[in-house]
């Protein structure tokens, strides 16, 4: 059992990983402390509410933003076709648009994804599992 004033996750987590069954703060009342000791002796886990809340917060995984959310539908189409290995002219023919328009879409998607060239875009699409490598 740990009795401390620290609610810092870098203190709490190692104590629990080392086998502490209870983690109580020093500001707890006498009756609650006695109850905690008895429960810990029975092997029950007792965590001060602030400690439990901190652990729960540390375990939450923030959802990762969808990297494609900033791309237009056309930019996504161009990205997938780049990943398939098509040239700008082939992409233009496939989509029924001009090659200059394709180049604009390529530049926009590279900028939005913070990539520097078509090869990086293709690899990025493969890593995101948007397409399978050839």
CA–CA distance, 77 with 35 (Å, rounded to integer) = 63
**Helices first, then strands: H and E counts in the chain:** 7, 3
Query: In this structure, what token pair is assigned to residue 78?
Result: 């161009």
Domain CATH number, residue 18: 3.40.50.2300
3-state secondary structure at position 4: strand
Residues 122 and 87 in one domain: yes
Please state the rounded mean pLDDT for residues 55-60: 88
Residues 72 and 122 in one domain: yes
Q: What is the pLDDT of residues 62-77, one digit of tens each?
A: 887 888 889 999 999 9
Domain that holds residue 77: 67-127
Q: How many CB atoms lie within 10 A of CB 6?
A: 14
- pLDDT reported for residue 33: 93
CB distance 42 to 28 below 8 Å: no
Residues 87 and 37 in one domain: no
Residues 53 and 71 in one domain: no
Count of domains for the chain: 2
- pLDDT reported for residue 47: 94
Domain CATH number, residue 104: 1.10.10.10
Q: What is the pLDDT of residues 81-129, one digit of tens each?
A: 999 999 999 999 999 999 999 999 999 999 999 999 999 999 999 999 8
pLDDT at 22 over 80: yes
Domain boundary, last residue among 59, 87, 104: 59
Domain boundary, last residue among 11, 29, 59: 59
3-state secondary structure at position 47: strand
Q: pTM (2 decimals)? A: 0.54
Task: Calculate the CA dihedral of residues 12, 65, 117, 90 and round it to 10 degrees.
Answer: 150
Residues 15 and 53 in one domain: yes
Residues 38 and 8 in one domain: yes
- pLDDT reported for residue 66: 83
Please state the rounded mean pLDDT for residues 126-134: 83
- pLDDT reported for residue 2: 93
């Amino acid at each position: 059992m740990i009795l401390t004033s620290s609610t810092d996750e870098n203190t709490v987590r190692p104590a629990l990983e080392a086998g502490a069954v209870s983690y109580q703060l020093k500001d707890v009342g006498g009756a609650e402390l006695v109850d905690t000791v008895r429960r810990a002796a029975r092997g029950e886990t007792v965590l001060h509410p602030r400690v439990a809340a901190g652990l729960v917060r540390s375990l939450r995984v923030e959802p990762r933003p969808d990297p494609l959310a900033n791309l237009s539908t056309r930019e996504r189409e161009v990205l997938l076709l780049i990943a398939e290995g098509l040239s700008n002219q082939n992409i233009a023919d496939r989509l029924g648009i001009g090659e200059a328009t394709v180049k604009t879409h390529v530049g926009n998607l590279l900028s939005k994804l913070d990539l520097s060239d078509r090869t990086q875009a293709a690899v990025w699409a493969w890593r995101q599992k948007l397409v399978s490598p050839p």
